[in-house]
Chain A
Amino acid sequence: MNYDEKNIVEKFEQEVWLYLDQSLPEKRMKYWDKKLEENNYLKNVINNIKYVTNSYNGIQQPILNDERFNSMVDKTIKSKTLFNNKIKQYFIKEERKIYQGKLAFLFTLLIMVFSFIIINNKKNFIKKNITVKTSIYMDWNANSIDKKINKINTRIKLVRNEDFRNYYYNRIIDNQWKKNTIEIGSKIRKIKINLENYKF
């Protein structure tokens, strides 16, 4: 093969697939048609291609049996609902602008609703906190009220027993120690009076 022949073979190799697909311009197709008649090396290029591709095509390809194929298709169809398909179609159609407008409106509405819910939830949160604090406050009040009620109870009992002095002391003196001392003192005074009246 001389230099020119080598050159033309290389060029043909670059275009041979387009020539076989008949996707070259008409002039170029005719050019190679003519060259192929003259040049055996070019024919050889085509023969080599045909030999390999025909040999490969001659191999029996593995086949997927129909039963297996059908079960795979069934599984595939189940994987997508018609609903998804319709939604996608909305965006393909010409009216997509209308749908987009509607969608934008819907989104705005949704955002408004969510904001409202969030704000409301926040308010509730504060209210709940206040309630908790109030309940603690109420507990404290209840204790002090309980104490006061107890005091009143004791005083009522004293009044019932006509022990006015004790009642008086009890009313003005909260200190138990002082109260007891005063009580003991009054008893000693009573004993003294009794002793003075007693004649040996």
Chain B
Amino acid sequence: MLEKELIIKCKNGDGEAFRYLMLNYKNKLFGYLWRFGKDQFHTEEMFQETLIKVWKGISNYNDKNKFSSWLFTIAHNVAIDYIRKKNLILSVNIDTLKSNPTQNIHDDKFIQKETVNLIIEAVDILSEKQKRVFLLRQHGELSFKEIAKITNEPLNTVLSHMNYAIKKIRKQLEVKYELR
């Protein structure tokens, strides 16, 4: 079923349509929130809150905008509010990720566990704004115009955050490898 049809059904209060709609975004959304929540408990809390806000607000969703953009706007706001409320630090629990097996990258090469840790650490040292832009791009697969809307910043500023984020991560990785 098309996303648009599911959204119309959701607007009519169809809970099952909502389930199918969110199933498509389940992992992207969870992965995004994980970077803020750091562990299963906090991430699930944020995920639940996002679901409730999406379900309650779906009748206000305007079809002219991309659904994923609207969804990640809500998730982004939920994450920011949650972190403020719980006084969480925007860092990633590397230990939980260490236990996860690695998978293929686009070039069909395996990333070693150590590299995974380095990337996570590198993302962790980004400034808050750089991290938000980077994570929205990577997890939400959003255009920079959409990210600019979500973060309420000019497009050039968002692009600049992304460039700095890439440079910082790249540099962090280079430094670590040189030290070895």
Q: Is B115 an interface residue (CB 8 A)?
A: yes
- Chain B residues 98 to 156 lying within 8 A of chain A, measured CB to CB, are 100-107, 111, 115-116, 119-120, 123, 138-139, 143-145, 156
Interface residues of chain A: helix, strand, loop or mixed (majority): helix
A57-B106, A59-B116, A61-B31 known; A68 vs B18 contact (CB < 8 Å): no
Within the assembled complex, what's the spacing in Å between the Cα atoms of A89 and B59? 7
- Closest chain-B Cβ to A74's Cβ sits at a distance in Å of 8
Q: Which residues of A contact B138 (CB under 8 A)?
A: 53, 56-57
Residues in B whose Cβ lies below 8 Å from that of A14: 156, 159-160, 163
| A34 within 8 Å of B (CB atoms) | no
- A23 to B158 alpha-carbon distance, docked (Å): 15
Contact A88 B60, beta carbon cutoff 8 Å: yes
Contacts of A136 in B (CB 8 A): none
How many residues in A have their beta carbons less than 8 Å from beta carbons of B?
Answer: 40
> Is B77 interfacial (CB 8 A cutoff)?
no
A27-65 to B contact mask, C-beta < 8 Å, 1/0: 000000000000000000000110111111111111110
When distances are taken between beta carbons in the complex, the residues of chain B under 8 Å from A143 are none
- Chief secondary structure at chain B's binding surface: helix
**A21: chain B residues within 8 A (beta carbon):** 143-144
Partner of B48, one of A63, A76, A77: A76
Nearest opposing residue in chain B for A87, CB measure: B59
Q: Are the C-beta atoms of A17 and B162 separated by less than 8 Å? A: yes
Contact B111 A59 (CB under 8 A): yes
Top 4 closest A-B pairs, CB basis?
Answer: A58-B105, A61-B31, A77-B15, A82-B13
| CB<8 Å pairs between A and B, sample of 14 | A14-B159, A23-B145, A48-B170, A52-B170, A56-B119, A58-B106, A60-B97, A60-B101, A62-B100, A63-B30, A64-B27, A64-B30, A72-B51, A80-B52
